[in-house]
Amino acid sequence: MTLMTRLMGAAALTVTTMVGAPVYADGGTLVIASTQVPRHLNGAVQSGIATAMPSTQIFASPLRYDENWEPQPYLAESWEVSEDGMSVTLNLVQNATFHDGQPVTSEDVAFSIMTTKENHPFKSMFAPVEAIETPDAHTAVIKLSQPHPALLLALSPALAPVLPKHVYGDGQDPKSHPANSAPVGSGPFLLEEFTAGEAVVLKKNPNFFLEGRPVLDEVIFRIIKDESALMIAMENGEADAYPFMTQSSSIKRMEKADHLGVTTDGYAAVGPINWLAFNTASEKLSDVRVRQAIAYAVDRDFITKALHRGVSSSQRGPIIETSPFFDETIPSYDADLDKATALMAEAGYADGMDLTIDYIPGPAEQQKNIAEYMKSQLKKIGINVEVRAAPDFPTWAGRVGGHDFELSMDIVFNWGDPVIGVHRTYLSSNINKGVIWSNTQQYANAKVDELLNAAAVEGDLEKRKALYAEFQQIVAGDLPVYWINALPYHTAFDQKLQNVPTGIWGFMHPYDQISWSE
């Protein structure tokens, strides 16, 4: 060891001693690092990972889900779906209270579901809910206009937080309610501090209705927007878990750290699909042969294995491949340049064409790099692609929402049930100019509409699967979207952590069972 290294070591030791060793709360503190900024903490009026992670700790919900897609009791200790599928009865636990001491009643559950129905961007979650009856303080009966098999999944913590009616029922707009930044829920943790854009600090709820939980004393969400700074924080123990990690370099780097584990579990319900959308209303792309030619020209394997260094997996259809509704038999458009060239000629574009490609500003590896790869690949079949980088999300959203695009790369989530996250892209009734993540492809197929509408109300799982299988076969043929890969979500976590959430909702699920092994 050189003198210089010794001196540096001594200096480091002195500084660490001066600053003090980490102070842990008794049950331990869990520091979760994230690059995403929550607008506020109320998941009833806001979708997305950033809000859902803290929201699912602060608010409890009627049900929760295990890793096998099975609903589990939460605020509802039991539930029954009526024979005809037109009503669902929730029997609530007796001892649940909000963080301010008020009891959680069926009134709160009814109020919350109706508030979410009216204000959450995912309209299909509770659209069939007509009314919620509350025969007594602990029974809520959800009355439906049609059977709604997606309802139970929509009662998950990430989608149906139970809000206190006595706080949110004051007539203010729930979307901008002041309580969204200072929420009162009945979940395992209560809000201690919310510094917008910086951190969310949660403390153990001592009166949580599930005996002996939560184990942790404190959960802190730290927002570190710079990925490399976040990596350093994980490596030096300033943060304990980093969920929703996608960059291959980060994943490889986290795998190398001795004290960290890395898993891909916990993202089944999110179903994040990276895709290439076609504006089917544009003249050139209205011909299905052109869309198919593009699909044949692109090599999914090259993207997942080379561009993503093997961390992502290919995605062949509109429903995430890990979902029970995915149909294995759909055409996969394996790379075939001859076929692609032939299709172009057949469509009357033997001399080629010019196209533009946009991409949602985000991780370059998932977006920009693939767009650039497509540019070079499509040149081989005579398509001259201009890559239109957007400086920021508003610019991109303006173009795609305004239907002012030809090709666009995007990441869209399935959100568990196809009714919630899949239908919106393919239903012709959802072509809404100016609205991002609607059917911006302007794809319309009456048979697809019919199948999706039938699947939305089909109570029998096997029949529902069959309807979705037929839907997948048709859209895979029509190709309004060319699905590329499932986003390679990984979680890095300190190996001393136990019960890291690996269910279908992963880190958008209560952390009441997480603990430190020492």
- For 73, the token pair is 């009791």
Q: Are 131 and 124 in contact (CB under 8 A)?
A: no
Residue with the two structure tokens 């299905």: 288
Minimal distance in Å, beta carbon 437 to other proteins?
A: 4
Instruction: List residues near other proteins by CB under 8 A.
Output: 8, 11-12, 15, 18-20, 22-25, 29, 31, 37, 39-40, 45-48, 120-123, 173, 175-176, 178, 180-181, 195-199, 201, 220, 222, 224-226, 228-229, 232-233, 236, 238, 392-395, 397-398, 401, 424, 432, 434-438
* Cβ at position 401, least distance to other proteins in Å: 6
Shortest distance in whole angstroms from residue 36 CB to other proteins: 10
| C-alpha dist (Å) from residue 177 to 40, 180, 216, 417, 456 | 10, 6, 29, 29, 32
Residue closer to other proteins (CB basis): 229 or 306 = 229
Q: Where are the alpha helices (DSSP H) in 95-168?
A: 106-119, 151-154, 165-168
Angstrom distances, CA of residue 109 to CA of 101, 142, 187, 306, 500: 16, 10, 14, 48, 28
CB of 442 to other proteins, least distance (A): 15
Q: How far is the CB of 391 from other proteins (least distance, A)?
A: 8
87/439 with CB nearer other proteins: 439
For other proteins, the closer CB: 392 or 518: 392
Nearer to other proteins, 88 or 239 (CB): 239
Tokens 């942790």 -> residue: 216
* DSSP sequence for 385-402: EEEE--SSHHHHHHHHHT
Residue entry with tokens 């909000």: 98
* Start-to-end Cα distance in the chain: 33
Give me the least distance between CB of 145 and other proteins, in Å please. 19
Burial of 152 (0-12, 13-18, 19+ CB in 10 A): middle
CB nearer other proteins, residue 200 or residue 293:
200
Nearer to other proteins, 76 or 179 (CB): 179
Residue 122: which residues within 8 A CB-CB, separation 6 or more? 47, 159, 415, 420, 421
Strand partners, 79: 90
Nearer to other proteins, 301 or 386 (CB): 386
Q: Which residues contact 57 (CB under 8 A, 6 or more apart)?
A: 187, 188, 189, 202, 219, 510, 511
The residue among 379 and 433 lying less far from other proteins, judged by its C-beta, is 433
In order, the DSSP letters of 355-388 are: EEEEE-SS-TTTTHHHHHHHHHHHHTTTEEEEEE
Tell the smallest beta-carbon distance from residue 351 to other proteins (Å). Answer: 34
The closest of 513, 500, 510, 512 to 264, measured between CA atoms, is 500
The contacts of residue 363 (CB under 8 Å, 6+ apart) are 246, 247
C-alpha 269/C-alpha 64 separation (Å) is 12
- How far is it, in rounded angstroms, from Cα 95 to Cα 74? 12
The nearest distance, CB 53 to other proteins, in angstroms, is: 14
Q: Which is nearer to other proteins, 352 or 434 (CB)?
A: 434
Q: Which is nearer to other proteins, 229 or 461 (CB)?
A: 229
- Least gap, CB of 202 to other proteins (angstroms): 12
Token look-up 């903490």 returns 41
Looking at beta carbons only, is 180 or 366 nearer to other proteins?
Answer: 180
**CB 116 → other proteins: shortest distance, Å?**
12
Please, what is the angle between helix 461-478 and helix 446-457, to 10°? 160
Closest approach of Cβ 409 to other proteins, in Å?
A: 15
Residue with tokens 């939560």, as numbered in its chain: 214
